[in-house]
């Protein structure tokens, strides 16, 4: 059942903005942080909001209201521990700014993502969107209705915070090359993942004209089970090194490699991405790309909140550095490379 307060919300910030001839972010600042607009603008917007019957969809009205509004964080899934770090950072920044925090999981579905975005654009004050699966045009249409910032995706006209895993993937590939690996697999993430496509493009550009044989493999959901399937696919390529879309896939693959009698790193070297807690405690410990999910969540949320507090909101685009953390899952290429597929069939 829809909460009773929802029925009272006949208008939203965009409706008020159109009526006043200003931007939705200006309306949000006037209603949530009036010190950031002129007294005349605050009075004009407040009166128009009252006239139009504006009421919050989620917060009590009157003197007991203590929060400035509501910010929603939309994530693609909850199976990846790295997402938990994003949540931690975003929630901390949201609460520090005295907004309520709402978490939404889309299960890596572009359809579900857009359904939630359309709903939330009418009911919350701002949205932080992590690794979106929707098109640029769809995201811009939502950003026209509600302030938004994006994590790990660049869309013109929308504030974004990205972790530079593409450059770090090239760093990881070059590291494997120094260990003697010449045939290297890259295990891709979901087809709709912008970061996965960016990494493939960076890796292909880095190996153009080289003698390195880069083998893109599949498109996998970031789970341990999918990691096992990815391991089987990698084994058929004859690669002696493999870069995985994330640590969850890599750890699932290492378990499967061991089941098949493939030694890590003697037969194949494995590199993950995200440096989740389990990466250091896996067997063997996982070489991976390290970037701070918690910091990304904080920065993206702060970028969103700044749209409410700045007199002239600007699009903020920031790229966070990442680096390769070397552990025990990588080592010199086997002397008999690349006979891994044949050796696997023989075992």
Query: Rounded to whole angstroms, how far apart are CA atoms 221 and 237?
Result: 20
Query: Rounded to whole angstroms, how far apart are CA atoms 35 and 43?
Result: 12
Q: Are 28 and 308 in contact (CB under 8 A)?
A: yes
Q: Which residues lie closer than 8 Å to 31 by C-beta, 6 or more apart?
A: 13, 45, 46, 49, 69
Q: How far is CA 149 from the centre of its chain?
A: 11
Residues 186-205 as b/e (b if ≥16 CB within 10 A, e otherwise) read bbbbbebbbbbebbbebbee
Structure tokens at 319: 């790229």
- pLDDT (tens, 9 = 90+) of the chain, 347 residues, equals 333 333 344 567 778 888 999 987 788 777 766 666 788 888 888 888 878 877 543 333 444 444 568 899 999 989 888 999 999 999 999 999 888 899 999 988 999 999 999 999 888 889 999 999 999 999 999 998 888 999 999 999 999 999 999 999 999 999 999 999 999 999 999 998 999 999 999 999 999 888 899 999 999 999 999 999 999 999 999 999 999 999 999 999 999 999 999 999 999 999 999 999 999 999 999 999 999 999 999 999 999 998 877 666 788 999 999 999 999 999 999 986 444 544 444 44
Q: Is residue 234 packed enough to be buried (19+ CB in 10 Å), middle (13-18) or exposed (0-12)? A: buried
Q: Are 73 and 128 in contact (CB under 8 A)?
A: yes
Q: What is the DSSP string of 103-129?
A: EEE-TT-HHHHHHHHHHHTTT-SEEEE
Query: Rounded to whole angstroms, how far apart are CA atoms 275 and 288?
Result: 6
Residue that has been written with the tokens 């909001």 in this structure: 49
Structure tokens at 17: 């903005």
Query: Which strands form 183-187's sheet, in the order they lie side by side?
Result: 213-217, 183-187, 241-244, 269-274, 287-290, 323-325
Q: What pLDDT, on the 0 to 100 scale, is given for residue 335? A: 80
């Amino acid at each position: 059942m829809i909460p009773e307060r929802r029925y009272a919300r006949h208008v939203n910030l965009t409706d008020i903005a159109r009526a006043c001839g200003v931007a939705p972010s200006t309306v949000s600042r006037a209603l949530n942080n009036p010190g950031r607009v002129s007294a005349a603008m605050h009075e004009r917007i407040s009166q128009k909001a009252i006239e139009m019957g504006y009421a919050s969809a989620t917060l009590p009205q009157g003197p007991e209201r203590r929060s400035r509004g509501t910010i929603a964080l939309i994530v693609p899934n909850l199976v990846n521990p790295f997402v938990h770090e994003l949540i931690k950072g975003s929630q901390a920044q949201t609460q520090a700014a005295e907004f309520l925090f709402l978490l939404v999981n889309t299960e890596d579905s572009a359809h579900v993502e857009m359904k939630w975005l359309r709903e939330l654009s009418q009911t919350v004050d701002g949205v932080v969107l992590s690794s979106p699966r929707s098109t640029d045009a769809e995201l811009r249409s939502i950003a026209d209705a509600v302030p938004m910032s994006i994590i790990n995706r660049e869309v013109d006209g929308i504030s974004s915070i990205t972790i530079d895993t593409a450059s770090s993937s090239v760093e990881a590939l070059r590291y494997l090359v120094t260990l003697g690996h010449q045939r290297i697999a890259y295990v891709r993430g979901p087809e709709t993942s912008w970061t996965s496509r960016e990494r493939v493009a960076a890796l292909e550009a880095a190996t153009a004209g080289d003698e390195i044989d880069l083998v893109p493999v599949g498109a996998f959901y970031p789970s341990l089970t999918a990691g096992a399937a990815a391991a089987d696919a990698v084994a058929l390529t004859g690669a002696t090194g493999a870069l995985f879309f994330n640590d969850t896939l890599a750890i699932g693959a290492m378990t499967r490699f061991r089941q098949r009698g493939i030694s890590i790193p003697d037969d194949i070297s494995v590199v993950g991405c995200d440096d989740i807690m389990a990466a250091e405690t896996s067997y063997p410990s996982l070489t991976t790309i390290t970037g701070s999910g918690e910091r990304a969540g904080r920065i993206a949320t702060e970028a969103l909140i700044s749209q409410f507090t700045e007199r002239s909101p600007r699009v903020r685009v920031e790229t966070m550095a990442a680096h390769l953390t070397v552990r025990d899952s990588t080592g010199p290429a086997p002397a008999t490379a690349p006979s891994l597929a044949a050796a696997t069939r023989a075992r």
